[in-house]
Structure 1
């Protein structure tokens, strides 16, 4: 198979296109011929070495966290999937590698592609859909009548989170640039804050949930808009002890995580707010539940641009630019 390999960690390090053996599947795996892969800031952060202490991938390895394609083989213990099925998913940590023409993935991490989506649209969903679901449904339990602030609303996670929060019945505010205001309003945002000219912490108050994916300053200012009993959920850190347990890190790293998040947790507690760090996990059942909303027309994928497989490094550079609206997708087929 063809695959893009990271030979060494480094900021902006280019991936090498290589010929590799086809993956070997286990009893619980499906082998997928990938037709499209979605790109995420997480890919660039891993490439740059930002997650080396937590995600211990040893170069050379294949990057990539989103795929859509056709099942070409199934393990002996797999039920619910067969050869020829159109599927998509986010492989679990330790088994990533969607920048390739094939991947072996645990069947528990896979869902069938919604009938109304192309492969490119299906590849744009898994990581961002699961992130939005785990933040708003699993952690925050967003309910009708609540108020939710979603930072960076025009990004991959933001475009999914706005639509999901609106579907759950929340009033949704988001931060973005003025050029993206029509996009986020079209996705359901009720209040749009231009981060270049407006201070969201002076404009908003009494919110139940904030989903933050930006810098530490924005994270701390987000406490001001939350009411007592509210939830601050961060996708950018600092990580906490719960994250250390989720990743199976040793007690020393658990202590480090606790210390890293001590400041924001203390400030949150002072104003009666709960702080959580979310590093999303693979979950095919949750993805299937999200897909049901896509099939109903309640949520739609948002794709900024599609690149050919031969230009995958250029696609990563585009993600790095921070200018993408929604997801960047690579056409592997």
Structure 2
């Protein structure tokens, strides 16, 4: 089978298509023929060597976490899915990869694809969707009086987060580009700040919760627009920030909350139910497998709406 791999850290130039044996399954595993996978910031952070404490430095490495496809084989003890089912899921190990023609995965980490969405849309769900659900859980009790600022609101994470927050009735301000402003409003933001025209840090408004999806604000700057007792949610922490946040939170009422998420059945069911209730999944661009480098380059540049996906076969 064909798979995308790399033998050293670096730019998209290190990515290559390699030939590998089609993987075999054990009793509790499923072989999925991949139809699409999506791209996440973690993919290039690992590839550039920024996450070696978590991913290690052993090569070759594979890229891609979340995928959608068709069940090809099932293990003897697998229940709930059968050959031919359309499913989606995410590989759990950062050293594994979903950017291939086939993937072997434990049956507990795949779910049946909703019939009303495409493979590219389904492949866009697991990583950012579960992160959005986890972020809301970290927010605690939110209601119509809770003021929330979402910085970098129209990428994949923001797409899910805004729509899930709308279902909960929170008062949300989104920070987005001019192009993304209409999407932010459509997904449920009560107001939108166009960052190309205005700096959110120069405003007088303060918020109960600030979540930085762009990785460009940071806790130190966010404190300027946080209420005395407020939360700053950080879904893209540097490794050193995880223990530092826990320590510093002992001495301040403006808490720095690290959001670390992984796919789970409980959270994925929340997403599936939301999709059935009308949650929209915007895929900005879908690339063919042969244009994998172009796909990663496009995603790394940022500025797109929703997700970027790659179709296989």
TM-score, normalised with respect to structure 1: 0.87
Q: How many pairs does the alignment contain?
A: 312
- Secondary structure of the structure 1 residue equivalent to 2:305: coil
Report whether the alignment pairs 1:283 with 2:282. Answer: no
The alpha-carbon distance between structure 1 residues 108 and 204, as it changes in their structure 2 partners (threshold 3 A), is farther
Cα distance between partner residues in 2 of 1:81 and 1:109: 12
The alpha-carbon distance between structure 1 residues 273 and 26, as it changes in their structure 2 partners (threshold 3 A), is farther
Runs of 4 or more above 6 Å deviation: none
- Alignment partner, residue 287 of structure 2: 307
CA contact (8 A) 2:285 2:307 kept: yes
Q: Which runs of 5+ in 1 are unaligned?
A: 242-256
Give 1:234-313 correspondences, 5 Å limit.
234-239=234-239, 257-259=242-244, 261=245, 266=248, 272-297=253-278, 299-313=279-293
- Alignment partner, residue 326 of structure 1: 306
- Alignment partner, residue 96 of structure 1: 96
- Alignment partner, residue 252 of structure 1: none
Give 1:134-153 correspondences, 5 Å limit.
134-136=134-136, 138-145=137-144, 146-153=146-153
CA contact (8 A) 1:239 1:277 kept: no
The alpha-carbon distance between structure 1 residues 77 and 175, as it changes in their structure 2 partners (threshold 3 A), is same
Give 1:1-333 correspondences, 5 Å limit.
1-56=1-56, 58-94=58-94, 96-136=96-136, 138-145=137-144, 146-203=146-203, 205-215=205-215, 217-239=217-239, 257-259=242-244, 261=245, 266=248, 272-297=253-278, 299-333=279-313
The alpha-carbon distance between structure 1 residues 166 and 18, as it changes in their structure 2 partners (threshold 3 A), is same
The alpha-carbon distance between structure 1 residues 20 and 165, as it changes in their structure 2 partners (threshold 3 A), is same
CA contact (8 A) 2:13 2:293 kept: no
**Comparing 191-200 and 60-69, the one that deviates more:** 191-200
Cα distance between partner residues in 1 of 2:62 and 2:47: 10
CA contact (8 A) 1:130 1:283 kept: yes
The alpha-carbon distance between structure 1 residues 175 and 32, as it changes in their structure 2 partners (threshold 3 A), is same
Q: Which runs of 5+ in 2 are unaligned?
A: none
